């Protein structure tokens, strides 16, 4: 719809001469159809603004007017109240500001700051609140918040739960940069960071089983006591900070009200940020004890046997103490043999903790920790009998009737450990090892079709099929992951990989920011032949290709060829250090996240280097071109 409005705007421009040169020229243009103007909806859907009844639309008016220092079309109701304003703020004859009104007040606007016909910012105003969202890739979804209140953060969390949208939830979490600004003590920073790091996974896991927020729930209001100042000097902090603790959101679920624990919110500048995942398994309305305003709890008196009610029994406490001793000792392991011995001791203790757990939930927790510990030790070649331990644990759980999700969790780590051990063997037949791995994965998918680990298993199968040239089967797997496991970490990568396999002949969508923070859109390079190189400083083949890319850039630049680098290092510092001694004469774009970040996931980048060749129309002509093929291809396409 937005592209239709842009074409309509341009048509009006032609009719009126030059948009906005003088007011009379705009005023004499034929006004656009009132039905079309009022039929244009805001990009963000959770906006309430005036929508006249169908019978009243023909009575509304639209005319060209001065809007501040700019020109635009203004839509009014039959009573003369403003309904919409569509404004050209920079005098280029194209609308770049779409304003929506309720009761005569502007409540929302879509903003196109780079004047390419697509909104990249969204603002709520007046009675609608104070949110200000940024959309760096202009896909209609907010990537980050420039401004948001505490009340609106709680509403975003509810919206993310209802939509099962992990990205929407992550957008309101405190960022690493913001955490560094708070002036907290190193100990408190470590505590908060651990909570933030765990939040995305905790949110996804909570969604699977939560019943607190039904599918048709709506946020109603924010619930919390008054915010409090944590003064500088508290626990070693250097700045005052403003905090809400024990926040809840009141929701309406088809007439039934409830309360959802949100947790702790902290103010950073004009914004509020969340410090962790909501506890959707908590009793309704019961928030956590908080991070800052902690009250010393009443400690129940010991029972006659000396045991404090609710505390671990003595046997469990003794095992936990032994586990702590082993962890400390293993950090000082002098050789692989010592490390293997400590890993075996750790696994034995975790097994005893699982066997002695008081509840099924505790037992499952210890079993998961045991599976993770043993699998990781096998992959680091530091527990020779680890695969056998995992196989025994799986059979034990199966015999005792453990639930399918726990069985799948252990089985997948057993398979991963077995694959890693097979690859490490000195006489490994890699073809046979790979065939067995793929067969194991296929059996896992068949046995546990709904396990969260199934998405990762299917992704491994899809990658193997793609590399084997069986692209139709790969696309089938990729599509199923994106459809059936949309909330998994594999879904975005799978959807991107499918798009990449189907990209030839289609426009490449690539947006982001360059190293100076300027917005980048590959559409700016229409008319040129473009090579997009996905690379990282740790990838030696990618760096080796750059020598020839420099030669080709110099040879064909005047004919309309350019290179664009998409750096997939995890940290910007690695890229900056490389560029100090390796000057690259082409644009680089970067976002944190590496191969798991947005830039990699949008095209499902699996290996580096990956290079795409784009023609003058912006369409992909080769989605996996090798540097040795470039000169021949460029000779065909460039004069």
**pLDDT of 235:** 81
The Cα–Cα gap between 590 and 575 comes to: 9
What CA–CA distance (Å, rounded) separates 386 from 415? 11
Q: Give 213's pLDDT tier (boundaries 50, 70, 90).
A: confident
For residue 488, give the DSSP letter.
S
Q: Quote the distance between the C-alpha of residue 451 and its chain's center.
A: 21
pLDDT at 247: 87
CA-to-CA distance for 148 and 271, rounded, in angstroms? 5
pTM value?
0.54
| pLDDT score, position 266 | 94
Tell me the domain boundaries of the chain. Answer: 2-145, 166-274, 314-498, 511-637
- Give the confidence band of 328 by pLDDT, cuts at 50, 70, 90: confident
Strands 121-124 and 132-134: what pairing?
antiparallel
Which of 128-142, 289-303, 555-569 reaches the highest mean pLDDT?
Answer: 555-569
Cβ–Cβ < 8 Å for 111, 122: yes
Residue 285 in this model has a pLDDT that exceeds 90: no
* pLDDT tens, position by position, 601-626: 999 999 999 999 999 999 999 999 99
* pLDDT reported for residue 314: 79
Contact 23, 53 (CB under 8 A): no
Best-predicted range by mean pLDDT among 232-241, 252-261, 482-491, 564-573?
564-573
Over residues 508-529, mean pLDDT: 94
Residue 589 has pLDDT above 50, yes or no: yes
pLDDT at site 18: 28
Q: What is the DSSP string of 375-406?
A: HHHHHTT--TTHHHHHHHHHHHHHHTT--HHH
Residue (of 435, 469, 474) closest to 458 by Cα position: 474
Residue 228, helix vs strand vs coil: strand
Confidence label for 310 from pLDDT (cuts 50, 70 and 90): low
Q: Is the pLDDT of residue 16 over 80?
A: no
Match 């944590």 to its residue by tokens: 230
Question: Cα(193)–Cα(175) distance, rounded to whole angstroms?
Answer: 9
pLDDT-based confidence at residue 489 (cuts at 50, 70, 90): confident
pLDDT at 7 over 60: no
Inter-CA distances, 491 with 292, 459, 498, Å:
36, 9, 11
What is the pLDDT confidence band of residue 123, given thresholds at 50, 70 and 90? very high
The percent of residues in the chain predicted with pLDDT above 90, rounded, is 58
Residue 548 pLDDT > 80, yes or no?
A: yes
Confidence of residue 254 (pLDDT cuts 50, 70, 90): confident
Question: Given this structure, which CATH class describes domain 314-498?
Answer: mainly alpha
Beta strands in 269-342 (DSSP E): 271-274
Q: How far apart are CA 192 and CA 149, in angstroms?
A: 20
Domain 511-637, CATH: 3.40.30.10
For a pLDDT cut of 70, what percent of the chain falls above it? Answer: 91
372-376-378-379 Cα dihedral, nearest 10 degrees: 140
22-49, pLDDT tens digit by residue? 233 344 457 789 999 999 999 998 899 9
Q: Distance from CA of residue 316 to its chain's centroid?
A: 39
Retrieve residue 40's tokens. 């244009």
Q: What pLDDT was estimated at residue 631?
A: 95
Query: CA 460, 466, 471, 473: dihedral to nearest 10 degrees?
Result: -20
- DSSP one-letter code for 429: -
Instruction: Name the burial class of residue 454, with classes exposed (0-12), middle (13-18) and buried (19+) by CB atoms within 10 angstroms of its CB.
Output: buried
State the Cα torsion 196-606-604-543 to the nearest 10°.
90
In which residue are the tokens 């401004």 written? 147
Residue-averaged pLDDT of the chain: 87
For 155, phi then psi, to 5°, come to: -70, -40
208 contacts 295 by C-beta, under 8 angstroms: no
Instruction: For residue 284, give the nearest of 259, 248, 315, 316 by alpha carbon.
Output: 259
- Residue of 604, 609, 600, 607 whose CA lies nearest to 628: 609
Long-range contacts of 447-454 (CB under 8 A, 24+ apart): 447/408, 447/411, 448/404, 448/407, 448/408, 448/411, 448/412, 450/404, 451/404, 451/405, 451/408, 451/409, 451/412, 452/208, 452/405, 452/408, 452/485, 452/488, 453/408, 453/409, 453/412, 454/408, 454/485
Tokens for 440? 């194991």
Which segments of 549-616 are extended strands (E)? 561-567, 587-590, 610-614
Distances (CA, A) of 49 to 98, 109, 124: 13, 11, 11
3-class DSSP assignment, residue 262: strand
Three-class secondary structure of residue 297 per DSSP: coil
How many whole angstroms separate alpha carbon 113 and alpha carbon 121?
Answer: 7
* pLDDT(1) > 60: no
Concatenate the DSSP letters of all residues of 80-134 into one string: S-EEEEEEESSSSSS--EEEEEETTEEEEEEE-TT-SSS--EEEE-GGG---EEE
Q: Please give the DSSP secondary-structure letter assigned to residue 294.
A: P
CA angle centred on 453, ends 449 and 459, rounded to 5°: 90
What φ, ψ does residue 313 adopt, rounded to 5°?
-70, 170
Cα-Cα end-to-end distance for the chain: 38
pLDDT of residue 307: 55
Residues 6+ apart with CB under 8 A from 409: 367, 368, 371, 451, 453
């Amino acid at each position: 719809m937005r592209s239709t409005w842009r074409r309509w705007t341009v048509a009006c421009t032609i009719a009126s001469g030059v948009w906005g040169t003088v007011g009379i020229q705009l005023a004499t243009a034929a006004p656009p159809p009132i039905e079309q103007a009022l039929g244009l909806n805001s990009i963000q859907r959770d906006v309430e603004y005036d929508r006249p009844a169908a019978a009243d639309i023909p009575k509304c008016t639209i005319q060209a007017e001065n809007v501040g220092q700019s020109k635009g079309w203004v839509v009014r109701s039959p009573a003369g109240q403003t309904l919409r304003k569509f404004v050209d703020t920079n005098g280029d004859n194209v609308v770049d500001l779409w304003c929506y009104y309720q009761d005569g007040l502007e409540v929302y606007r879509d903003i196109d700051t780079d004047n390419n016909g697509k909104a990249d910012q969204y603002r709520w105003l007046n009675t609608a609140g104070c949110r200000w969202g940024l959309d760096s890739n202009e896909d209609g979804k907010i990537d980050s918040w420039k401004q948001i209140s505490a009340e609106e953060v709680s509403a975003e969390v509810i919206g993310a739960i209802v939509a099962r949208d992990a990205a929407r939830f992550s957008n309101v979490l405190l960022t690493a940069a913001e955490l560094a600004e708070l002036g907290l003590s190193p100990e408190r920073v470590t505590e908060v960071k651990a909570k933030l790091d765990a939040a995305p996974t905790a949110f996804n896991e909570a969604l699977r089983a939560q019943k607190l927020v039904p599918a048709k729930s709506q946020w109603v209001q924010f619930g919390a006591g008054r915010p409090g100042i944590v003064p500088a000097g508290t626990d070693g902090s250097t700045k005052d900070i403003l905090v809400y603790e024990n926040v809840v959101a009141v929701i309406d679920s088809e007439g039934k009200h409830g309360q959802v624990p949100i947790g702790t919110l902290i103010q950073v500048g004009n914004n509020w940020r969340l410090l962790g995942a909501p506890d959707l398994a908590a009793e309704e309305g019961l928030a956590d004890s908080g991070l800052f305003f902690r009250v010393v709890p009443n400690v129940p008196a010991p029972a006659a046997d000396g045991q404090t009610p609710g505390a671990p029994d003595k046997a469990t406490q003794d095992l936990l103490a032994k586990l702590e001793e082993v962890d400390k000792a293993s950090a000082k392991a002098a050789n692989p043999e010592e490390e293997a011995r400590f890993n075996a001791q750790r696994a034995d203790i975790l097994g005893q903790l699982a066997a002695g757990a008081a509840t099924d939930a505790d037992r499952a927790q210890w079993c998961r920790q045991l599976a993770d510990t043993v699998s990781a030790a096998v992959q680091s070649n530091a527990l020779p009998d680890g695969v056998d331990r995992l196989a025994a644990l799986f059979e034990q759980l199966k015999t005792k009737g453990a639930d399918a999700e726990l069985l799948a969790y252990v089985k997948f780590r057993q398979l991963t450990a077995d694959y890693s051990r097979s690859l490490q063997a000195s006489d490994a037949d890699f073809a046979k090892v790979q065939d067995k791995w793929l067969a194991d994965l296929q059996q896992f998918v068949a046995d546990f079709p709904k396990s969260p680990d199934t998405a990762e298993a299917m992704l491994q199968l899809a990658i193997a099929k793609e590399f084997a040239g069986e692209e139709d089967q790969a696309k089938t797997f990729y599509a199923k992951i994106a459809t059936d496991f949309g909330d998994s970490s594999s879904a975005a990568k799978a959807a991107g990989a499918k798009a990449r396999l189907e990209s030839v002949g289609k426009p490449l969508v690539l947006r982001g920011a360059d190293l100076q923070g300027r917005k980048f859109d590959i559409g700016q390079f229409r008319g040129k032949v473009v090579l997009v190189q996905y690379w990282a400083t740790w990838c030696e083949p990618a760096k080796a290709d750059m020598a020839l890319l420099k030669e080709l850039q110099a040879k064909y630049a005047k004919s309309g060829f350019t290179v664009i680098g998409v750096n997939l290092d995890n940290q910007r510092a690695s890229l900056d250090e490389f560029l100090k001694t390796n000057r690259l004469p082409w644009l680089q774009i970067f976002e944190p996240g590496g191969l798991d970040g947005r830039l990699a996931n949008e095209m499902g980048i699996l290996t580096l280097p990956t290079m795409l060749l784009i023609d003058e129309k912006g369409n992909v002509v080769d989605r996996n071109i090798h540097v040795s093929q470039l000169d021949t291809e460029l000779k065909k396409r460039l004069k």
